[in-house]
Amino acid sequence: MKKTSIYVDTSVIGGCCDPEFQEWSNGLLKDFQSGVFTLLLSELTDAEIQDAPDEVKKIYAKFRKCTNKIIELTSEAIELSDAYLRHRILAHKFRNDARHIAIAAVAGADLLVSWNFKHIVRFDKIQKFNAVNIEIGYKPISIYSPREVTTYGRKIS
């Protein structure tokens, strides 16, 4: 059986160090470490981590050990993210948020996981991202927070 592939944006990695989010971000990291899910990271995440505190960089190194492929920010992903901006789903100053979604869609990720409730994990935004994806020929992508996705700590019934 194919494992669910999950694209993780930078907020999930930073969430490992945030008291409000660490339980679920660290749980998701444990899921990747134990092979429950397939992790997808991108060169955009690599770039964003460069300015992060050392504590976050150390956590990111653990995420990097869970994958052997870093997805490139291709011209195809840039075109898709530009379509999100043209449809005014996000303002241009949030271009990287649009790019994370586009990278995940172009890569064929099953899920995108984020703590960004303002621009990404929002019902109305998800509908609009997926409308553009379908219009351009990509499959819809499911978008959730780590809390909704991690299996770590759940009792199986």
Residue 157 in domain = no
Give the residue among 47, 55, 45, 54 at the shortest CA–CA distance from 22: 55
Residue 110 domain flag: yes
Tell me whether strands 38-42 and 70-71 are parallel, antiparallel or unpaired: parallel
How many domains would you assign to the chain? 1
Confidence class for position 154, pLDDT limits 50, 70, 90: low
- pLDDT of residue 157 exceeding 50, the answer is no
Are 76 and 108 a contacting pair, CB within 8 Å? no
Domain assignment of residue 61, given as a range: 5-149
Q: Does 36 reside within a domain?
A: yes
Supply the pTM of this predicted model.
0.93
Which CATH number do you get for residue 18? 3.40.50.1010
3-state DSSP assignment of residue 9 = coil
Report if residue 11 sits inside a domain.
yes
pLDDT digits (tens, 9 = 90+) for 16-71: 999 999 999 999 999 999 999 999 999 999 999 999 999 999 999 999 999 988 99
List, for residues 95-106, the tens digit of each pLDDT value.
Answer: 999 999 999 999
Task: Using alpha carbons, select from 77, 63, 73, 74 the residue that is nearest to residue 31.
Answer: 63
Tell me, yes or no, whether 154 lies in a domain.
no
